[in-house]
Chain A
Amino acid sequence: MTSFKPRPNQAQVLAYRRGRMGVSAVPGAGKTRTLSALAAQIVSSSAIGEGQEVLIVTMVNSAVDHFARQIGAFIRERGLLPRIGYRVRTLHGLCSDIVRERPALVGLGEAFTILDEREADKALAQSAQAHLQSHPDFIDRYLDAELGPTQIERLVQNGTVSAAVVDLARDFIRTAKDRRLAPEQIALGLAASDQELPLAALCLPIYAGYQRSLTLAGAVDFQDLIRLAYEALERDPDYLARLRRRWPFILEDEAQDSSRLQEDILRLLLGPDGNWVRVGDPNQAIYESFTSARPEFLRDFLREPGVQPVDLPDSGRSAAKIIDLANFLIDWSIADHPSDAVRQRQPLQPPHIRPVGPNDPQPNPPDDQARLVIHNERLTPDEELELVADSLAKWLPDHPDATVAVLAATNHHGSKMVDALRKRDIEFVEKLRSTTATRLTAGALTHLLRYLAQPDHPPLLARAYEVWRRLDRDDEEASERLKRVLAVLRTIERTETFSHPGPDGDWLDTPPVRVLIEADPIIAEHLDAFRAYVRKWQAAVVLPVDQLLLVLAQDMFSDPADLAIAHSMAVALRGISQNNPGYRLADYAQELQDIAANERKFLNIDADARDFDPSQHPGKPIIMTLHAAKGLEFDRVYLLACNTYDFPSGIPGDQYTPEKWFVRGRLNLSAETLAQLNAAVDPGQVYQEGAATLAARDEFVGERLRLLYVGITRARRELIITWNSGRRGDLTASLPFQALRAHVETKEKGR
């Protein structure tokens, strides 16, 4: 894992001693290893004294684990004790550390709750509902004039209107918190403004109501955590000074996804002379639509005086053909994109990706084995899925050791792909909706709680056993054994004769079990061990439900992500139990089941909680979204739905997901709301209806181009891109798709 031999450009990063450095790394440039090596180097140098740490800030939890492991390995290699001298955190984790160290600074007790997304959404919906009830006609002014009364009635009845308002309020609150604007400040701005800002006026009371409900619950949401961390640092200069002493070096990964608040916090922590290394790839900034992240922050940083810029353009990930295609997309977007606005904004920029030399320890896959397919046939969405399923069915048997991913633009599209594969009995790995880990963990715990709620029910006992032996499913022999045990367990007449056999006999001594054990003695060991756990779990039912869950989790999981999720669930169940004193185990099981069934979002430790490694799943297609695939690589990649809806180009006829069909003039209400918020609090900002919608289109087009770039650069050897004509059949192949196809054809002809 270690014995890292840096490439010349990586060595340039490792030559860093102090000051500010900005690193632009192309996909596959080895930035994590380089940054980990740099962290280890600083930790073991005299630059870090006793009590000091190198702070590494990254985007997602999986990266935290990854970094921590790599740095630990590098540090061990240097003969030092790991875990001391560095701290790896996501921004949320860092802010949680900052707030938890001095909660009283920002009015919190030691036991404050961080509201999960589900509860936060509930509070938001309640606040929105309360406001809408007193202003039921508000939305009328924004509805398309063509809509008839029945259509409008239907929109209201089926919740479309209230859902839209909740979405607006969510964006409004997110931006307000990112700008550290309290409801009172916005109210002052609105009162002082002579402009008409109805959307901001709509969202403000919802924001205020939402904050009140958080305060009542003694809770904060994830956004608050960041804002409060900033406030804590601002309020107590001594605390800030101490943290500056503690963290003399800050290394930031995925800096292209940095938000204004993240920048502000890190700059505050660094002070004027702090040592800061920021690594990122502005071409892979794909979170603008969901968060307040902006790649411009990194770009601006790279241009700041005193910042040493370094490029890491060398990448051994993909075959030359694929690299060429990605580089072409950069050039095309700069020179030939039909939209002036997009060309000016330059959503994709150099450096180009450069293949490494043949002597590199991680050389590019040979180009002669690489394959590019830009499938230009007009297909319906179903036909597209069939095509990919067909292709996989043919390819998989010959490539049992290769990794392959089907990357969809949305979860919904991904789930259709899952259905298509299921129909053909193709085994796959689903990584959709970013809550797989949560679902599996919640699912396992749900089954145990359900069993404990009805411990005399044999199928539930069998299910608990199945969950306990869940890893057996990955092994053919073990899986068969599991099935045999389950079949017998389900027929047990009295479950206590297994869990707590009395003088009337032990179920393990009954003929069907004896037959089973004689044929396969290891079953006896499994059942004995399971019995010990069952006895312990039964005894634990008298504990408060959160504590019971922790006991179960410790016996069931060893994966840190599972433990973290279980712990968060325990905290959530504790909250639920306080609000519902009459709840029984069966009710808690139902709560967990809801989470497991993915009916509710749960916390932020979802998508990325598990350090997903595609190489653990060779020969099985991995279904995920383009967003979730960032940071991963696969031998073969399918990119779906490259049409004018999922990848618009800013030309007439393109459609944009944030623009709702029932809104007049196809206004992007979310963008308009934020523009109104800005106009309310920034004197001099003039709000002009529609301008924000147009600007948001350009941003969206740029982000989609980067998403396509990310998709292309996931492929090591083979890349297949397709498009479909949409549900109504009115979509065409996107412009970048067509440009890529033309480029490939030209290249082919040239050969």
Chain B
Amino acid sequence: MELTDSQRAIRDFPASGSLFVEGPAGAGKTTAAALRLLTLIEAGVSGAEVLIMAPHRGALLPYQRALRSSGYAGPTPAAFTIGSLARQMCAQFFPLAAAEMGFAAPEEVPVFLTLETAQYVMARLVDPLAFAAAGGVRVDRQRIYSQILDNLNKAALVGFPHTEIAERLKAAALDASAHPAYEQAGYFADAFRAYCLEHNLLDFSLQLETFRRLWTQTAPRRWVLERARHVFVDHVEEDAPSAHAVIRDLVAAAQSALLICDSEGGYRRFLGADPASADHLRATCDQAITVSGSFVMSPAIAGLAEALGAALGGLDESASDRDADALRGALDFPDHTYFPQMLDWTADSIAALVAEGVAPGAIAVLAPFMSDSLRFSLLQRLQARGIPARSHRPSRSLREEPAVECLLTWAQIAHPEWTLIPPGIDALAYALMLSLGGVSGDDLDLVRARLLARAAYPADDQPARLRPFETLPPDVRERVSYTLGQRYDVLRLWLEEYIAGNNRAVAPAEPPPAPKKGRKRGKQAAVTPLVSAPPQRAELDHFFSLIFGEVLSRRGFGFHHDFIAADAAANLVDSARGFRQTMAGRAVFESNLDGKTLAEEYVEMVRGGVIANQYLRADGEIVPDAVLLAPAYTFLNNNVPVTAQFWLDIGSRGWFERLYQPLTHPYVLSANWPGDRAWTDDEEDASRRETLRNLIYGLLRRCRSRVYLGYSQLSESGNENAGELLAAIYRTLRRLYAEPGVEDDVV
């Protein structure tokens, strides 16, 4: 691989001293940094002396992959996000800071809350009626929980006391009508904090604050610094000031440090990212270099980035010194009247690209929001053209994935002792469709699924169990087909064995459940169970894991080729495990279950719409060669360039607007915002323009050769949309297509 001068400078930077590298995405910064890591290792540095930090786990992967592919077999370098570092420190040194922090039981092991379990706790404390009475702000229940938590986290990430949140929000508001609601939010944040302290619960904000205290103490600090003789920090622009403070200390103490900053980043501002604070790190380093150029963008895409950037109010530019033909060649921008036409065009264009030899995995379809209907409509079209697709949509409710609902249904069937209302015929039919038929529903259609569900799941059986296929009426068996019947029986038997295993584990003295009427054990044996019964009562996350791994993901079953369902199942397993590990055995939680099991409580929480944690699969997972369907910002954070990008619905104003959350504010709760100033429209407008410009730069810097602009005159909801991105594209096109001298007449 040929390196640029800048890359060589990074790779060959001496093993003592610190270097700050800044440059746009795609300039080869991380590649050079990973090479530097290998260079150090080759020079005899042990992995145990290396500490890598990044704002999210995905950004750590390039270093881990580089090490693995180099064949390095020594100690693994420590790799942290600020969150994981804080958590690890709290786990090891909690008693050192707990009393000072005000925890009720400093000597006891604390309970770590995830985003999901923190919402669960918050739901017990917050009274939405108080917000209704306060007026001024209108926000639904789930969002109240998540926004209060968000405020606590921001205060911790930025480094100001959470008690200042309400005052900051009040000072930023242009009038007083929302003040009572901010005070309520502050009140419940206090209540939540007090509850956590009383019960030794560590939500993300308390992990950070506890860590901050630990960081001032010798033992914990030494523990980290010993592992940080050589420090690598990537994407400093996506981290928050509290992380920057730690990084500053690491740089000062380390023998060598390399800090990498993406000059147009800061996409995670809603999570506390602070590029301005990151920039201050430059001064802590011995040297700073700026890299430029792109290993990703073709010249035409680079030109397009400049032209669009200019239209969005960025650089000065003149169209004349650019190859307009080349730029036009990098763009595909047909005009459609209706939304479905745009989707057809998208699928056709992708099919054409794949036919030309572009790998599906090198194509990304991006939209400001990827709704279920949009994703479904795209998936259907791609599937009809034989093109695999996957999607990534974080920050959503788990329950919104059909695969999750399907797994919850099987969980209920597998736990007849639960007191939850059993699933209805519709839910069972949908679960059968997805499990036996897959995403297209072609293998098991809705009619046959309902037929099977009705016949196999008699409402009058208590507790309800699925009946063997052979015992179903002949016409049902004939209509459903023997092949599907076999598959159904595999699933059913697995569930039966699971139930039996669970019962044995719970009450070994009891005999296994008696065969149901008409059940012929001899015939049943014709279908061999795929797994023997679990020896002891399985936890819910084990159940999800088992049914997915042993049945649903097998060839012939619905999740086999369905990357999205597989992803959803994996998230559900992680989520259920997190819930169990947090809750199980804790009196503070288990005493409030009203006779339910923790597993039932979990199912109810998911069905209640809890916003999911951000799950990232472990390194080493093979990313399928499939078209990625994702929100634009998710794509940016994944940071994997593609050959072709489709920007859908470019008329939508969603491209231009941030997420508005009335009880929180990404800028007002940042380090740079003076606590006593009002947030006015000038700030809002400027931040939006900058954000859109950086988004567009960010996307184009991750695009190798072609951008397809999906536009329909009428949006999905029948409105004519003309957002800022569309206007900028028009302005660019006007310049690109204008004959010399025409432009003046037009404007």
A interface vs B, CB < 8 Å? 46, 49-51, 68, 79-81, 83-84, 87, 100-112, 211-220, 231, 235-242, 452-453, 455-456, 494-496, 499-500, 502-504, 535-536, 538-544, 547-548, 550-551, 554-555, 557-568, 578, 581-582, 584-585
Contacts and interface: CB of A to CB of B under 8 A. Distances in A.
Given A109-B138, A112-B138, A215-B132, A238 B731 contact: no
Contact of A455 (B337, B377, B450, B609): B450
23 contacts: A81-B733, A84-B727, A104-B661, A108-B138, A108-B660, A110-B657, A235-B174, A237-B681, A241-B681, A455-B447, A456-B450, A496-B448, A496-B479, A535-B440, A535-B441, A538-B441, A540-B376, A542-B405, A543-B372, A547-B371, A555-B340, A567-B718, A584-B424
A734 to B, nearest CB: 42
B362 to A, nearest CB: 27
Interface stretch (B10-18, B175-183, B324-332, B692-700): B175-183
Interface string B404-444: 01100000000000000100101000100110000111100
Contact of B718 (A87, A218, A562): A562
A212 B661 contact: no
A123 to B, nearest CB: 12
A543 B375 CA distance: 10
Interface string B639-683: 000000000000001000101111001000000000000001110
Given A107-B662, A215-B135, A543-B402, A239 B681 contact: yes
Nearest to B429: A541
A453 B425 CA distance: 11
Contacts of B128: 216
Nearest to A183: B135
B713 interface: yes
Interface in B711-747: 713-714, 716-720, 722, 726-727, 730-731, 733-734, 746-747
A550 B447 contact: no
B246 interface: no
Nearest to B446: A538
Contacts of A502: 481
A84 B713 CA distance: 12
Contacts of A538: 441, 445-447
A562 B133 CA distance: 38
Interface of B: 128-129, 131-133, 135-140, 143, 174-175, 177-178, 181, 337-340, 371-373, 376-377, 380, 400, 402, 405-406, 421, 424, 426, 430, 433-434, 439-442, 445-448, 450-451, 478-479, 481, 607, 609, 653, 657, 659-662, 665, 680-682, 684-685, 713-714, 716-720, 722, 726-727, 730-731, 733-734, 746-747
A647 B439 CA distance: 62
A39 to B, nearest CB: 15
Nearest to B451: A456
A647 B685 CA distance: 53
A242 B685 CA distance: 9
B339 A496 contact: no
B442 A236 contact: no
A547 B445 contact: no
A510 to B, nearest CB: 16
B681 A541 contact: no
Contact of A563 (B129, B607, B684, B716): B716
Contacts of B338: 554, 558
Given A108-B662, A495-B447, A496-B479, A547 B714 contact: no
B523 to A, nearest CB: 23
Contacts of A547: 371-373, 376
Given A102-B684, A543-B372, A107 B450 contact: no
B400 A544 contact: yes
A104 B660 contact: yes
Given A496-B448, A550-B373, A564-B718, A584 B426 contact: yes
Contact of B680 (A51, A106, A236): A236
Given A215-B131, A578-B609, 17 more contacts: A50-B747, A79-B746, A100-B653, A107-B181, A109-B660, A110-B660, A238-B680, A238-B682, A504-B478, A536-B380, A538-B446, A539-B442, A547-B371, A550-B716, A554-B340, A560-B719, A563-B718
Nearest to B371: A547
B717 A564 contact: yes
A215 B662 contact: no
A577 to B, nearest CB: 11
Contacts of B129: 216
A216 B446 contact: no
Given A108-B138, A108-B662, A112-B138, A236 B376 contact: no
Nearest to A501: B445
Given A239-B681, A456-B450, A564-B719, A543 B376 contact: yes
Contacts of A452: 446
B717 A563 contact: yes
A502 to B, nearest CB: 6
B329 to A, nearest CB: 21
B722 A83 contact: yes
B376 A87 contact: no
B724 to A, nearest CB: 9
Contacts of A83: 713, 720, 722, 726
B447 A499 contact: yes
Given A217-B140, A543-B372, A564-B718, A500 B448 contact: yes
Contacts of B380: 536, 539
A555 B439 CA distance: 19
Nearest to B425: A584
Contacts of A235: 174-175
A183 to B, nearest CB: 10
B720 A68 contact: yes
Given A83-B720, A542-B402, A563-B714, A218 B138 contact: yes
Nearest to A500: B445
A212 B132 contact: yes
Nearest to A454: B450
B629 to A, nearest CB: 14
A541 B446 contact: yes
A495 B722 CA distance: 44
Nearest to A495: B447
Nearest to A238: B681
A181 to B, nearest CB: 14
B669 to A, nearest CB: 13
A470 B8 CA distance: 68
Nearest to B678: A236
Given A238-B681, A539-B441, A547-B373, A109 B446 contact: no
A585 B426 CA distance: 8
A295 B132 CA distance: 38
Contact of B143 (A109, A216, A456): A109
A46 B400 CA distance: 50
A539 B445 CA distance: 8
Contacts of A563: 339, 714, 716-718
A405 B734 CA distance: 47
A241 B680 CA distance: 11
B684 A239 contact: yes
A237 B440 CA distance: 53
A233 B615 CA distance: 41
A218 to B, nearest CB: 4
Nearest to A211: B135
Nearest to B138: A218
A201 to B, nearest CB: 21
Given A500-B447, A560-B719, A107 B136 contact: yes
A215 B181 CA distance: 11
Given A109-B138, A502-B481, A542-B433, A104 B662 contact: yes
A567 B430 contact: no
A456 B178 CA distance: 53
Contacts of A111: 143
Contacts of A80: 746
A212 B133 contact: yes
A561 B718 CA distance: 7
B662 A103 contact: yes
